Copies of this chain bind each other. A is one copy, B any other.
Amino acid sequence: MSIYIDPEVAVSLRGYEVPERLGFGTAMAPVMFRAVCQDGCWSQGELIPYAPLTIDPAAKVLHYAQSCFEGMKAYRTAAGSIALFRPEKNAARMAYSAKRLCMPSVPESLFLDGVRTIAAYCANLVPGNRGESLYLRPFLIGTQADLTVSASTSYEFYVIASPSEAYHTGNMRLWVEREDARAAVGGTGDAKVGGNYAGSLLSVGRLKERGYDQSLWLNPADRSRVDELSGMNFFAVIEGKLHTPALSGSILEGITRNSLLKLARELGYDLVEGAIHIDTLLSQIASGVCTEAFACGTAAIISPISVIGDEAHSHELYQAPGPVAKALREALLDIQEGRAEDNFGWMQPVDPVNF
Contact = CB atoms under 8 A, between A and B. Distances in A.
A197 B64 contact: yes
Q: Chain copies in the assembly?
A: 2
Contacts of A194: 61-65, 194-195, 198
In the complex, which range does the number of interface residues on chain A fall in? 35 or more
A62 B139 contact: yes
B204 A150 contact: yes
A26 B183 CA distance: 31
Contact of A141 (B62, B139, B167, B205): B62
Interface in A159-202: 160, 162, 167, 179-188, 193-202
A205 B151 contact: yes
B52 A195 contact: no
Contacts of A53: 54-57, 62
A230 B100 CA distance: 16
A49 to B, nearest CB: 11
A149 interface: yes
B205 A195 contact: no
Contact of A148 (B25, B145, B193): B25
Given A102-B205, A184-B184, A186-B220, 13 more contacts: A52-B55, A53-B54, A58-B137, A63-B137, A64-B198, A65-B67, A65-B197, A99-B202, A100-B199, A147-B162, A149-B230, A181-B186, A187-B220
Nearest 8 interchain pairs by C-beta: A195-B195, A25-B147, A65-B194, A184-B184, A65-B65, A64-B197, A181-B184, A52-B54
